[in-house]
Chain A
């Protein structure tokens, strides 16, 4: 499995593991990865199997993805870590923190909800007309304001950047990931098993995982720290990168 930066991990390292969402790759975490690296923290920003630079077969379940991330940690003799997950990545993080709670120190879930049920028609598009699915995900992935622009990262047009990243994904990836999100069960029970320090970062204008759909999940964690970014949509790391980083610094 590819991860960035390609550093040799220190012995007894307790890295921060960043897990991307549907059809994405490690490049969505460039800014926080650079921060934590500068602060001499070990960081693993991974490309899930079949995504980005990672080869290997696609995995069709959140628990399967979770197993793969643990395997990567085992291969590097990592006993403990903190995790950050966005969207589908947040479900993988939840699965990891509930299945092996002793290994997760802190967890930040960005743009999350449970259930993360995907509209049947969107799933159908992802299977038969992936460009249409990408267009819908891009459109709904941003707040109304962000679709007009004014990126905090100067000169970059947000929606098209996201569209391009998804267009790079291999055949079947978008459908696979959306289905994995939809099929993820028992999220609330899993949340109750988590012993790590938990943070949720949510966008008030998120159309894909609206804040109201995170309420039950929030209630299932013990003392979660909930941060809402006003006016942000689902792609919080693009829409408000500095606030996301500030919150991650607090959590990790």
Chain B
């Protein structure tokens, strides 16, 4: 008896979660642009509301188009289920609030996307949820900061913008030894480059706006549950182990076992916070995912060429990319990111803030905007934009200086991109 072979990622990208439409045979996923769904009779309605029957009620909570995307990302990540959200930021809020409440604490990487940092540093404390930011490379710092009320450890698979590679096996071990789940933001890596659940992470979220879509026309997020964490193993996660009055005393661990977390997230967070993704957005994200493996291959190929080009350019002080020998996580990256370290990276120009400004304004193909992961190449100056609300100290800790430039390399012809960069470098550093 041979071990059965599961479908490969490129196949799942095209098929997972969808079969041809049963009414008309549509091959593409139909867009069910409907706020609500008709019940055949009152008894069925009562059954779906009481979660004794499967079905859709209202698109804030579930929708057939979104469900395809939820299954697809689950399949690609090796998760048990997922929830589509209005944005990556909404997915992070949902991930946290499903298990943390007033008086809870989490540990987060000090190198986070500015939006995530804002949420943890400034907003969640207003609701009684506190964060300690640590360098997740320093395992003793993680251990030292775990408190009785610590309920989550959170990092990015590739930190923003310094590309710290999260040592998921090591960090998840510390987390699990303390009955704490590990949440990762996998936006920069996508399931094409890394499957965090197989390395030890418990929960994943994505900004689907980025590489998963690739076209830069939607805002969306995804929260994926790995189904491995044993929520009932301690008394920490009361939202999952104690009766929930808001859903007729449902005990999620008792009723759903491994799927306790994702069910609570949907039955409470999706229902009450209401940050849902529109079905049309879900359709557009699905269109992107269909070509994920092809695009990511090209993103990586182009990035490697551009990193090589910049690394040997006289106007560039340094390039920060984990595939380079001088990156602090070079060895780890080789182990857990063998297919590539993403297509977003930073470099330091020779010169000052003014040089950076001139460089960005001179670029022609690279668009100056606040996004990453588009099929088109993008550029930004983090200190004055994405990370401008961070203090100087926090910026320093995150490895950001006045001359840091962040590129998100697209899938254009690489020769054209290099020429564009070369011209801008020459112009901006001209004496």
Contact = CB atoms under 8 A, between A and B. Distances in A.
Given A132-B3, A161-B259, A242 B71 contact: no
B52 A245 contact: yes
Given A147-B7, A160-B227, A38 B54 contact: no
Interface stretch (B79-87, B129-137, B141-149, B318-326): B79-87
Contacts of B288: none
Contacts of A148: 7, 15-19
A156 B55 contact: no
A135 B53 contact: no
A200 B9 CA distance: 37
Contacts of A136: 1, 3-4
B264 to A, nearest CB: 13
B103 interface: no
B128 interface: no
Interface stretch (A26-34, A72-80, A222-230): A26-34
A152 B44 CA distance: 14
Contacts of B46: 38
A32 B15 contact: no
A46 to B, nearest CB: 13
Q: Which of B18, B52, B66, B67 has the most CB of A within 10 A?
A: B52
A contacts with B: majority SS: helix
Interface string A135-164: 110011000010111111111110111001
A210 interface: no
Interface stretch (B250-258, B297-305, B396-404): B250-258
Q: What class of interface size applies to chain A in its complex with B?
A: 35 or more
Contacts of A150: 17-19, 68, 71
Interface string B55-80: 11000001110111011101100111
A135 B4 contact: yes
Interface string B221-249: 00000011010000000000000000000
A157 B79 contact: yes
Interface string A85-96: 000000000000
Contacts of A184: none
A31 B259 CA distance: 14
B38 interface: no
B50 A30 contact: no
A168 B7 CA distance: 23
Given A150-B17, A155-B266, A164-B228, A27 B255 contact: yes
Contacts of B78: 160
B120 interface: no
A135 to B, nearest CB: 6
Contacts of A159: 6
B26 interface: no
Contact of A35 (B15, B52, B74): B52
Interface in B170-201: none
B47 to A, nearest CB: 6
Contact of B67 (A35, A155, A160): A155
A25 interface: yes
A251 interface: no
Contacts of A167: 228
11 contacts: A30-B51, A149-B18, A154-B62, A154-B66, A154-B67, A155-B62, A155-B82, A157-B79, A161-B259, A168-B230, A245-B52
Interface of A: 4-5, 25, 27, 30-32, 34-35, 38, 52, 119, 121-122, 125, 132, 135-136, 139-140, 145, 147-157, 159-161, 164-165, 167-168, 241-242, 245
List the 5 closest pairs (A to B, CB-CB), nearest first. Answer: A139-B4, A155-B70, A157-B74, A27-B257, A35-B52
Given A151-B71, A160-B79, 13 more contacts: A34-B255, A38-B52, A52-B257, A121-B1, A122-B1, A145-B19, A148-B19, A154-B67, A155-B262, A156-B74, A156-B262, A157-B71, A245-B52
